[in-house]
Amino acid sequence: MRIPFQALLYSLSLAILPGCGGSSSAPFVSDIHANQLFFGQTAQFTLTGSSLDKDLNVSTKNCRGLALVSGGSETSKAVTCTVGAVGAGAVTFEVKLADGTVIKLASFDVPNPQVSMVTNLGTVLIELNATAAPLTSNNFLQYVNDKFYDNTIIHRIVTSGIFIAQGGWLTPTPSAQAGQRPSIALEVGKGLSNLQGTIAMARTADLNSASSQFFFNLSDNSGLDTANGGYAVFGKVISGRPVLDALAKLPTSTQYGLSDFPSQSVIVQSVTQTQ
């Protein structure tokens, strides 16, 4: 099995095994069915038809890491890949015969990813903008799907100068959460602004130092779009704004050597990708 990589196009040869026999008719694909399509997650695509034990080549666009699922039959074969784009017809599949003849072409819509964050103050639903900030969105979703953010805290609330609530680093102990990934490149200038209700990545003075820590904008902080190189917005809260309002009212003090630390524990109980 050979999987060549060409930009956003990925292909996989589904070759018949020696001695397997098979029917004499040409392969035919009647349908390609996809299970749930979540940006950043592995999806399974099932090909149905006839004579699928013959040589075929499957190519995908915007779905990386194409791999054949073991098993299958003359009438059904499945492949998996990781969804890498959102929008109408974002992921496309093309099935060809060994001679290059196209026998099936299909496209699939992928919705903007959404994440449910459950806290002890309530639940926030966040929609990510994977079109404008694909690198940042994918990074955040990897932490979400690794359950990295579960049982962490909001450790910083600032309501003077800038108005933000920051998390994604500490457990309630507090101690640093294990499993932090390498830093990512800064994605700014993409048409997204640090307006009230948006979520952005925290970082150090190093522009490309964002990793797991994020912050909610509790008011319009458009100055952060360019301040010190800018801070990357990658989504917005689409429900649960009262949780942000509650965060803005919490008193803070210096604790554990950290300024602006909430006097009341704000625990992120779970974070789950819902689409």
The phi and psi torsions of 112 (rounded to 5 degrees) equal: -60, 135
**DSSP-based three-state secondary structure for 244:** helix
**Average pLDDT taken over every residue of the chain:** 92
Q: What are 107-160's pLDDT values in tens digits?
A: 999 999 999 999 999 999 999 999 999 999 999 999 999 999 999 999 999 999
**Start-end of H helices in 153-249:** 241-248
At 241, the pLDDT band (50, 70, 90 cuts) reads very high
CB-side exposure of 149: number of CA atoms within 13 Å? 28
Residue 20: what pLDDT?
42
**DSSP-based three-state secondary structure for 253:** strand
Q: What are 183-206's pLDDT values in tens digits?
A: 999 999 999 999 999 999 999 999
| C-alpha to C-alpha distance for 152 and 170, rounded to whole angstroms | 6
* Residue whose pair of structure tokens reads 């507090």 in the numeric block: 174
The domain over range 5-110 is classified in CATH as 2.60.40:
yes
| C-alpha to C-alpha distance for 54 and 17, rounded to whole angstroms | 9
- The proportion of the chain whose per-residue pLDDT surpasses 90, expressed as a percent, equals 88
Q: What are 34-46's pLDDT values in tens digits?
A: 998 999 999 999 9
The full set of domain ranges for the chain reads 5-110, 114-273
| C-alpha to C-alpha distance for 44 and 203, rounded to whole angstroms | 35
| C-alpha to C-alpha distance for 31 and 54, rounded to whole angstroms | 17
Residue 75 near residue 23, CB atoms below 8 Å: no
Taking residue 254's Cβ as centre, other Cβ atoms within 10 Å add up to 9
Q: What are 52-93's pLDDT values in tens digits?
A: 988 889 999 999 999 999 989 999 999 999 999 999 999 999
Residue 14: what pLDDT?
61
**Of residues 207 and 2, which shows the higher confidence score?**
207
At 179, the pLDDT band (50, 70, 90 cuts) reads very high
Same fold, 5-110 and 114-273: no
Token pair for 142: 């990897």
| Residue 218 CB burial class (10 angstroms; 0-12, 13-18, ≥19) | buried
pTM of the model: 0.89
CATH architecture of 114-273: Beta Barrel (2.40)
DSSP-derived secondary structure for 119-175? ETTEEEEEEE-TTT-HHHHHHHHHHHHTTTTTTEEEEEEEEESEEEEEESSB-SSS-
Taking residue 85's Cβ as centre, other Cβ atoms within 10 Å add up to 17
